Amino acid sequence: QLFFVAAQDPSSSLLPSRGVQLYLPYEDRIIPDYSMIYASQFYDADQNNDVNDIIDALWCQSANSSASIGVWYYPNGAKVPIFDGNFTNSSAPSPVFSMRISGQIALARNGGLSGYEGLYKCIIPDENGVNQTLVVGAYTDTGYNNNDGPDADPTMQFSLLSTSRLATTPVFSLSFNVSDGPPTTVNCSVNGTGISTELSRKIVNGPESVTRVTVANLSEAGNYQCTVSNTRVTNAPINGVIAVTSISSLIVSVSDTPTGLTATRLSTGLSHVRLSWSTVSGATGYEVYYQLSSITPVSVGNTASTTTNITSELIRGITYTFYVVSYGSASLPSGNASVMLTISDPVVNDFMVALTTISAITLTWSPPTAVVPISYNINRRCRRVCESSVTSNNETSVSSPHTSTGTPPYSQCGFDLIGVYGADIAYLTTNYLATTLLTAPTAPVDDIIFSSVESVSMTVSWDEVPCNGRNGPITGYYLTYTNITSNTSYTVNITKGDNRIYNLTGLIPYTNYTVIPGVITDLRHAKNPDAINIVWNPPTIPNGIITVYEIRYRESTSTGPYNITNTTNTHYIIVGLIPNTSYTIGVRAYTSIGPGEWTNREYSTIEI
């Protein structure tokens, strides 16, 4: 026959001086977090009649002595009801209820635990007011005696904790689930050597007693093993054997470093880049980064491929370092492969004239070395040298060599070569100047004016040739005047440039004359870095049979003798010249009587 005496709560002397704890008066011991107890070890009364007459509930205690603290939760996550009456009051909730006393809260049982087994959780603030969680596995006596120990997942799950796979020492965690009992003790090792671990446990399925165990802040590759056991308040035999431990393991390796990393510009945009590297055996993915100067590297993203295109975020004119690391499902990231690339603006340095005629200019160029465009456009602005008005046009999708046509003789044109890169464009060369060849005028002079008319002389003047028919600089005129009475014509060669006035003398008094000025022939030329090609027309009035043409030339800054050569043609190529140099060139005709006057021009060779 049992005799009960008045029971009491645990005294304040049994509370912890720091932190929180679980106290089981029936066994008179502090039990570890995630311990196992059975129904016959906690009650709503002093069941064992100990000398202190303490209520044999399970007490969740704190160094925080405040009243009304702490909450108990059922295995299914619901709150255990809090009762304000006496422990043995028949109106208390069943089969378990909680009761708060200063600095502690009791989990009391007044009925059977069948259907209520599992992991009970107490949340209670510590002396700093920070909530702490304590867990205990409570079972029926039969369930406790038949429990053969916790069951851990055989294989751990790997998770990288480092914010960047480029971290010098990557930090990771390993986790696994434990069922069939709480994991009171977890001991881990790597390659057989025990390690001190930062351990966390969290109930993920209360009714099924499943706990997630996470071992964090690991950084070493190797063979990891964690052994899990639970503390049974009473180590009773289980069907004739002692409760066993369970092992979860995982081999953590280091992925190999990618090789052959290259960075190439893409024609789809001025700041588009493609990265490529070799396949790493066993890798499940790769992470790509870019870094600007000393700024923290930025992750572009992850890929399972060995190529990736970066089409945003990069800025023109900047030098970047690109990194690639490989990783596996259960491996630390590899060392990084790196490559540097400057996103420079493309430029064409050899945009030049290959051929000019009186109406067309042929241009050539090489692709820019930085990045070849998808296509080229050319903007052209042209004006006759003798006028200021400009005509412009845009030629798209051109290629080298390209002939720009429809330009009047002796017109100066400015060319822009534009590279097309998707939605971007780049001016590869700007305002390159070239001039079409000159040719004989195709329009007559304007009004002829007579003045200072005397009996045997008169002054003749005339307006200039219209610009649209001038076709080059006027260097002289032939002025022909005819005695209408005798039908006798006389021609004067006026060679002092564009001099549009002449005094006729030796005329016959009271005689009608007609005056027709004619433009003398002119030199035309084409130029290369080391040669100048000249072309001319024979004199309008040769005054005999032309036997040979004499050509002379020298550098314009020279005062030395001319180089002399002869030809019977009306064209000649002067070779062996110095690039980017100005030359004075003269041509005159010979007849049996002797030479005519020199026609002189100043031309320059082009740069290489």
Distance of CA 156 to the CA centre of its chain: 37
Could you tell me if 478 and 395 lie in one domain?
no
Q: Which of 138-142, 486-490, 505-509 has the lowest mean pLDDT?
A: 486-490
Could you tell me if 49 and 134 lie in one domain?
yes
pLDDT at 543 over 70: no
Contact yes or no for 74/61 (Cβ under 8 A) = no
Tens of pLDDT, residue by residue over 462-490, are 888 888 888 888 888 888 888 888 888 78
Tens of pLDDT, residue by residue over 430-449, are 999 999 998 888 887 878 88
Residue that is last in its domain, among 146, 165, 182: 146
Could you tell me if 576 and 514 lie in one domain?
no
pLDDT at res. 519: 37
The answer to whether residue 6 sits within a structural domain is no
Could you tell me if 489 and 379 lie in one domain?
no
Residue that is last in its domain, among 435, 469, 490: 435
How many CA within 13 A on the CB side of residue 264?
Answer: 12
Could you tell me if 392 and 335 lie in one domain?
no
pLDDT at res. 517: 46
Share of the chain above pLDDT 90, in %: 61
The answer to whether residue 440 sits within a structural domain is no
pLDDT at res. 377: 98
pLDDT at res. 520: 40
Could you tell me if 26 and 104 lie in one domain?
yes
pLDDT at 525 over 80: no
Could you tell me if 528 and 515 lie in one domain?
no
Burial class (CB in 10 A: 0-12, 13-18, 19+), 570: middle
3 state SS of 470: helix
Looking up tokens 């822009």 gives: 416
pLDDT at 414 over 80: yes
Q: Which of 124-138, 299-313, 515-529 has the lowest mean pLDDT?
A: 515-529
Share of the chain above pLDDT 70, in %: 94
Rounded Cα–Cα distance for residues 263 and 277 (Å): 9
Could you tell me if 515 and 531 lie in one domain?
no
Q: Which amino acid is at 3?
A: F
The answer to whether residue 347 sits within a structural domain is no
Q: Which of 44-48, 49-53, 104-108, 134-138 has the lowest mean pLDDT?
A: 49-53
The answer to whether residue 441 sits within a structural domain is no
Could you tell me if 178 and 241 lie in one domain?
yes
pLDDT at res. 169: 80
Q: Measuring CA to CA, how many Å separate 530 from each of 364, 366, 479?
A: 18, 20, 38
Mean pLDDT, rounded, for 393-402: 96
pLDDT at 526 over 90: no
Q: Measuring CA to CA, how many Å separate 113 from each of 28, 40, 140, 141, 508?
A: 22, 10, 6, 9, 150
The answer to whether residue 558 sits within a structural domain is yes
The answer to whether residue 509 sits within a structural domain is yes
Residue that is last in its domain, among 490, 519, 548: 519
Angle at 79 between CA 77 and CA 82, to 5 degrees: 160
Q: Which of 231, 239, 197 is nearest to 214 (CA)?
A: 197
pLDDT at res. 518: 41
Could you tell me if 360 and 319 lie in one domain?
no
Angle at 539 between CA 537 and CA 543, to 5 degrees: 150
Distance of CA 543 to the CA centre of its chain: 76
Tens of pLDDT, residue by residue over 561-605, are 999 999 988 888 899 999 999 999 999 888 776 778 888 898 888
Q: Which of 102-111, 302-311, 536-545 has the lowest mean pLDDT?
A: 536-545
Q: What spatial distance separates the first Cα and last Cα of the chain, rounded to whole Å?
A: 121
Q: Mind giving me the DSSP string for 41-84?
A: G--SS--S--TT-B--SEEEEES---SS--EEE-TTSPBPPB--
3-state SS string over 192-231? CEEECCEEEEEEEECCCCEEEEEEEEECCCEEEEEEEECC
Rounded Cα–Cα distance for residues 467 and 408 (Å): 11
pLDDT at res. 383: 95
Could you tell me if 141 and 159 lie in one domain?
no
Residues 6+ apart with CB under 8 A from 185: 32, 228, 229, 230, 231
The answer to whether residue 182 sits within a structural domain is yes
pLDDT at 257 over 70: yes
- In terms of residue numbers, what domain contains 292? 262-342
Tens of pLDDT, residue by residue over 275-310, are 999 999 989 999 999 998 888 899 999 999 999 999
Residue that wins the pLDDT comparison between 169 and 134:
134
The answer to whether residue 412 sits within a structural domain is yes
pLDDT at 239 over 70: no
Tens of pLDDT, residue by residue over 444-459, are 787 888 888 888 889 9
How many distinct structural domains can be found in the chain? 6
pLDDT at res. 2: 41
Residue that wins the pLDDT comparison between 400 and 52:
400
pLDDT at res. 242: 66
pLDDT at res. 597: 82
- CATH number of residue 370's parent domain: 2.60.40.10
- Tell me how long the chain is: 608
pLDDT at 423 over 80: yes
Could you tell me if 18 and 124 lie in one domain?
yes
